[in-house]
Structures are given as structure tokens and as C-alpha cells.
Amino acid sequence: MDWNSFSFIDLFAGIGGIRHGYEAEGPTCVFSSEIDERARDAYEANFGERPHGDITKIDAGAIPDFDILLAGFPCQAFSIIGKREGFANETCGTLFFDIERILKEKRPKAFMLENVRNLTAHDGGGTFSTIQKHLSALGYTVGAKILNALDFGVPQKRERIIIVGFLDPVNFRFPDPLPERKRLSLNDILEKDPPRKYFVRPAIREARLRRLKNPDYPRPYISHENIGGSVTPHPYSSALRAGASANYILINDERRPTERELLRLQGFPDTFKIVVPYSQLRKQCGNSVTVPVIRAVAGNMLEALRKFEANDSRFPY
């Protein structure tokens, strides 16, 4: 097949971070799904189509044929019923079930899944092992690696596991980190004159500065408050979180990041349209993927698939 014009589906699509990463390779999205209405608003504004809703209610057979399945799926705890093994028991009640049933029905050439780093540790590693086992049982060669957004050009420390699978014996390698010179700094992504509405009250600022581990830390920095109340500055953001408090991260302990800065921390282009309130955008960015990480994985996946189709076993990296 022609891997210069392939198709994909975008499950648990959020605001389209995975789609942004893959569309750089020139494919066509033939189906998307997202249950959150405000995320669907943002997706529709930016891609011109409204994702389908709850994937658990969508018949896999009704989904158009496609070449690659993409999903940044939520990971609920696996429900193991008794000591019996099997598909229904091991995946009951989880959204991974829906990925599995679509893969089983549609048999795409490849898939890429994204999840939190702690997926590998959940239930003593049992959850991740079960996921790998079920994907392999469908005939896919499965690989996984934890990638950090800091290594791919954005000033955000965000570690996520990427799981890829191929029906054919494709020679795939995960992407290498970008050289330091190609990575954006905080100076590159911060707005020069943000409105006053993003600045915190003096009492909040003073309380943060009293607990700042290094008061002489060079600006610009982003600090976050850990569970023990300590405030630590870094030349990058800690991982954006959907459910974090409004002041979880502060720039120079003075202000919250703007909507555009939050999107830039996730690698979204400045052409991305903002159509939801600040609180929703902050939640959406916390739930999103980091676009440059996905773009790097997409590039390597497509290179590997093209090499395989060309029967070229040399695959130089």
C-alpha cells in the first residue's frame, strides 16, 4: 500500500493532539471519537468535524476501514473476575476493551496508544502485562517505551508510555531525543505582555516565595507546589494536569500560564483556535498529548512501514 496517503482513526481524541502529530505525515482521518462535549467543541473548531461520542456505544463494524488506529486511552483499573482467564473477564469495565474490539474487527496494519507512565506499575505490572498479552493475541508485534516531552522540544517534563503494534514484522525503533539546540526554552513559549488577569494576588505570591526552595533561581522559571507544600522552580513546567488547582504551576511565582502558553507547552501550533473558557482549556491541555512526541513517533512508524513495503531490510537509523 501507499504509506504516503494512509488513513487513521482518532479514538479518545480530546482536542486532537494525536491527530496533529500524525497529520504532519499527510494521512486522512476517517473517524474520530470523544465523549467530552467541550473537547468536542475544540476539536470541531480546529478540524472542521465533530467527533462521534461515547466509543462504547459505537459498533466497530460501522467504522470506516483504516490503516492505523490511534488512541490516547484512559486507563481504568482492570476488573479481574475470580481466577478465570479470558477476554471478557480480564477487560471487563475498561476502555481498553473498545480498542481491542475495534482492532479485532478492523485489523488495521498498525496502532499507536498513549497512556500515563504509571500504567506499567498499575496492579504490580499486571495491567500492562494484560494489555500486551491481548494485543499480541490479536497478531500484533507490540513495543512500548516511556518518552519525555522535554526530550522532544517543549519545556514540559511529561513522561508518557507509547505503545505501538504492527501486523507485519516491521523493523520499528522509537525516536531518539532531539539535540538540545533544537528544543524550545521557556523564553520561546512565554508571552511578552500577558494581561493582568493571569497574575495571582499578592498574598498568594508572597506565600509561594516564602516556600521557594531557591529564591535566587534565574528567570524565567515555572514552579510547582508538591504535596508537602514545597515550591520548586525549574526552567520547564512540570506535567500539566487536568485536575490540578488553578495555582498548581506559576510562572516566576507571579502568574498563571495563559491559554496560548498552555497549548505551546503541549506543542500545539499558534493557529490552534481557542473556543472554550480558561478552566476548560486548562483541563483539556492536562488531558492532551504532547504533539511533538507524537509527531516523532509517527515519523518513525511511517518510515518503518514504508521500508517494509519496499522490502528494504537495511532500515538505516
Q: Which residues are the active-site residues?
A: 75
**How far is the C-alpha of 208 from the C-alpha of 224, rounded, in Å?**
9
112 DSSP β-pair partners: 70, 164
Reduced to 3 states (helix: H, G, I; strand: E, B; else coil), residue 33 is: strand
List Cβ neighbours of 118 (8 Å cut-off, separation of 6 or more). none
The dihedral built from the CA positions of residue 273, 277, 280 and 286, taken in this order, carries a sign that is positive
**How far is the C-alpha of 150 from the C-alpha of 124, rounded, in Å?**
27
- Cis bond upstream, residue 220 (ω within 30): yes
Residue 219 one-letter amino acid = R
